[in-house]
Amino acid sequence: MNIEHFLTNANPSWMQYESDSDIVISTRIRLARNIANVRFPISFTEQDAEQIEHQLMNALLAINRENPNRFSYFKVKDMPHLQRQILVEKHLISPNLARRQKIGAFFLTEDESISILVNEEDHIRIQSLAQGMNLQQAYAEAKKVDRYLSKSIAYAYEDRYGYLTSCPTNVGTGLRASVMLHLPVLTMTKQMNALIQMMTRLGMVVRGIYGEGSDNLGNVYQISNQITLGKSEEVILQELEKVVEQIIQKEQLARKNLLLRAPAVLEDRLSRSLGTLKYAKILTSEEAASCLSNVRLGVSLGLLEPISQRKLNECMLIMQPGLIQQYAGATLQSTERDMYRAKLLQEKLNEQTSNNGEKGEDSYDV
């Protein structure tokens, strides 16, 4: 599979998600693994790196033979800056890997649900993305690849600790489980700071999911486990699930209260955001994300005309700087991007209006 497929597909199957609620967007699982008796990336040689990539290629070729959702292989070296940026925006590779000059590679399944980062901070990082709240499924998918690789690769593992990793914060299970949550009303009503402190005490980490600008761009937060050592994978997933469920309830309660207290003010605010998306001619990513968040909330509360979550997910994705330029087919300066962003989102949203609730299987290619 060509890299173009991954650059232009704005609707990977794991993102084609429609649920009753707009709060949970997606789930991510990441397993960190290293190969026994090979130096960690922090100190290894280019030869070590080549050797590891080779080993993984052979293992994954075997998977590809048995699996319809095949892995494609890409080297970071020589990849143009824009392509790397787009893959980061799509959460397929890490910003860390994208910055590499020489060493580093990755494997992607056709449906983009699984990516394997090679020679990033660890030799191997298996990432699995799933729609909605799907910790168990995403973990099962990552574990399947992990088991498969372990057939031909000897992992660095010690009975006392578990999996060994470059950074001590990953030692043990090597598991980082994350849920992406859309929390506009907790943000609007300034409850997030207290909640983040509470979650930190419970061993969770809260981050924004977009790199550029505000760290909670679009009111989307990534909540993940801090601790990887001394707990089983099962317990880590259960604990995260419990915390996330509490946060969802808090957001739902905050929405109910806001609707009771100031329904007209809320409707005005959310409807104006739709107006801005449909009429602005210059839109920064911050403003676009904020408006899309409001529209997502408004649709969810039934205050705005229905727009599918799939369409809103797509808008959140394509409005990012790298993808904007991919769509425009040109390198654009900041203001040009803001102009093209307004145009592109208007096209998407108008397409939506005339084709409401459409739920095709086809991905949108530029």
Q: Is 91 annotated as a binding residue?
A: yes
Residue 61: CB partners within 8 Å, gap ≥ 6?
Answer: none
Residue with tokens 């990513």, as numbered in its chain: 285
Closest distance to its own copies from the beta carbon of 264 (Å): 6
Closest distance to its own copies from the beta carbon of 270 (Å): 9
Task: Pull the structure tokens for residue 304.
Answer: 């705005």
Closest distance to its own copies from the beta carbon of 304 (Å): 9
Closest distance to its own copies from the beta carbon of 279 (Å): 3
Q: Is 46 annotated as a binding residue?
A: no
Q: Which residues bind its own copies (CB under 8 A)?
A: 264-265, 267-268, 271-272, 274-276, 278-282, 335, 339, 342
CB nearer to its own copies: pick between 139 and 340 = 340
CB nearer to its own copies: pick between 253 and 265 = 265
CB nearer to its own copies: pick between 310 and 341 = 341
Helix (H, G, I), strand (E, B) or coil at 223: strand
Q: Give the residues across from 181 on adjacent strands.
A: 24, 221
Q: Is 173 annotated as a binding residue?
A: no
CB nearer to its own copies: pick between 76 and 291 = 291
Closest distance to its own copies from the beta carbon of 268 (Å): 4
CB nearer to its own copies: pick between 41 and 298 = 298
Count of Cβ atoms closer than 10 Å to residue 250 Cβ = 16
Q: What angle do CA 336, 340, 346 make, to 5 degrees?
A: 155
CB nearer to its own copies: pick between 121 and 338 = 338
Q: Is 223 annotated as a binding residue?
A: no
Amino acid of residue 359: K
Q: Is 316 annotated as a binding residue?
A: no
Q: Is 29 annotated as a binding residue?
A: yes
Q: Quick one: which of 256, 357, 271, 272 has its CA closest to 309?
A: 357
Q: Is 212 annotated as a binding residue?
A: yes
Closest distance to its own copies from the beta carbon of 337 (Å): 12
Amino acid of residue 291: C
**CA separation (Å) from 119 to 54, 55, 178, 333?**
12, 12, 22, 32
Closest distance to its own copies from the beta carbon of 348 (Å): 16
CB nearer to its own copies: pick between 58 and 334 = 334
Q: Is 176 annotated as a binding residue?
A: yes
What are the φ/ψ torsions at residue 225 (nearest 5 degrees)?
A: -75, 140
Q: Is 160 annotated as a binding residue?
A: no
Q: Quick one: which of 274, 347, 305, 243 has its CA closest to 10?
A: 347
Closest distance to its own copies from the beta carbon of 134 (Å): 35
Residue by residue, DSSP assigns 146-181 as HHHHHHHS-B-EETTTEE--SSGGGTBT-EEEEEEE
Q: Quick one: which of 247, 177, 137, 182 has its CA closest to 21?
A: 182
**CA separation (Å) from 131 to 24, 71, 134, 135, 236?**
9, 20, 7, 10, 19
Q: Is 123 annotated as a binding residue?
A: no
Q: Quick one: which of 36, 39, 43, 115 has its CA closest to 74?
A: 115
Q: Which residues are annotated as a binding site for ATP?
A: 26-30, 91, 125, 176-180, 207-212
Q: Which residues are annotated as a binding site?
A: 26-30, 91, 125, 176-180, 207-212
